[in-house]
Amino acid sequence: MTTAQAPAVRPTPILLDCDPGHDDAIAIVMAHRSPAIDLVGVTVTCGNAEIDKTVSNALRVLQFIGAADVPVAAGCRRPLARPLVLGAADGPSGLEGSPYLPAATKAVEPLHAVDFLAETLRKAPEPLRIVATGPLCNLGLFVLKYRQLLSKIKDITWMGGVFYRKSEIITPTEFNASCDPEALRLVLDSGVPLTAVGLDVTMQVLVESPQYAEFGKIDTALGRVVVDWLKFYERLHRTSMGVGGALHDPLALALIVDPTLVRTRPAHIAVDLSGSFTLGATVADFWNERGMPPNANIATEVDADRFFDLLYNLLRD
Ligand code: BDR
Ligand code: CA
């Protein structure tokens, strides 16, 4: 008698576009460690720090976790239409709190991130999924340069925007959106399916004492680095809002492994391109008052406990 075997599930190939950044770094770690994901490339943008630093951080993290074979391509030095305003949470290097990460010997790809994306998408047998955890400079430029390849992107899961302010710890604008709002508009108008995981949802996955206790049990070099990152990363949140660090980018990445961690609703997102205090604000039309077709699925709720369980499991050996 032969036993029927469940077909092996192929890991999902993804490209990660990021600006590491502590929470981006944790997303890189998760992508590499998850058996459900095949990390085919990392493209880097400016954002949490200048491009040279975010690229160096991506290389160092990948090398540290034994993923030096994952190609890294450097992208935009500045937003498409504005000067660069850096993120504030991650310190001058973009990854403060990890001085003992080795300097990378791994080299960056010779192609600009946008051209690397094009080449990788062209070669891929099927459309690829992209997770974006930074300002959308690279993807906006890709839309302008390679419109003919948009059909090779299956979808984009993006950490960014803010859609529903439920409390005073949710700011009216979000960094990834307001850093390069023109790029965001290009991506939203591109027709590529987009899931937006906004600040109002990611501010519900906070690292507080119970989470530190769980991370503390992961007694490995990687577990210790992650705790060190989190301790630096939470400073801004702790002093300005009185809460722990929010795992914005890891939540977006986690949706590739388990999309049921969040509920989503389709809506049209408009981006404020002229505001002074609201530049880059993302205004979601959940009731279709604008009469525009939805251009995104927007995360509205998250199961934080299940997200943290997934993260602890990925970090354990
Ligand atoms: C986003 O901005 C950055 O500081 C984080 O890495 C995250 O991608 C949160 O607003
Ligand atoms: Ca980021």
Looking at residue 4, its pLDDT comes to 59
Which domains are seen in the chain, by residue range? 12-315 (3.90.245.10)
Q: 32 alpha carbon to ligand 1 midpoint, in Å?
A: 20
Mean pLDDT of 108-123: 98
Is position 248 annotated as part of the catalytic site? yes
Read off the pLDDT band of 234 (50, 70, 90): confident
Asked whether 48 lines ligand 1 (CB < 6 A), one says yes
To the nearest whole number, what is the mean pLDDT of the chain? 93
Q: What is the pLDDT of residues 182-202, one digit of tens each?
A: 999 999 999 999 999 999 999
The model carries a pTM of 0.95
Looking at residue 2, its pLDDT comes to 46
Asked whether 199 lines ligand 1 (CB < 6 A), one says yes
H or E element at residue 42: strand 37-44
Mean pLDDT of 282-286: 96
Share of the chain above pLDDT 90, in %: 82
Looking at residue 76, its pLDDT comes to 98
Listed residues: CB within 5 A of ion ligand 2: 19, 21, 24, 133-134, 249
The C-alpha atoms of residue 13 and residue 123 are separated, in whole angstroms, by 13
The C-alpha atoms of residue 42 and residue 298 are separated, in whole angstroms, by 24
CB 304 within 8 Å of CB 204: yes
Asked whether 31 lines ligand 1 (CB < 6 A), one says no
Looking at residue 317, its pLDDT comes to 72
Q: What is the pLDDT of residues 248-257, one digit of tens each?
A: 999 999 999 9
Asked whether 21 lines ligand 1 (CB < 6 A), one says yes
**18, 19, 233: residue to mutate for ligand 1 pocket, most atoms within 8 A of CB:** 19
Nearest to 64 by CA among 86, 92, 32, 111: 32
Q: What is the pLDDT of residues 8-46, one digit of tens each?
A: 679 999 999 999 999 999 999 999 999 999 999 999 999
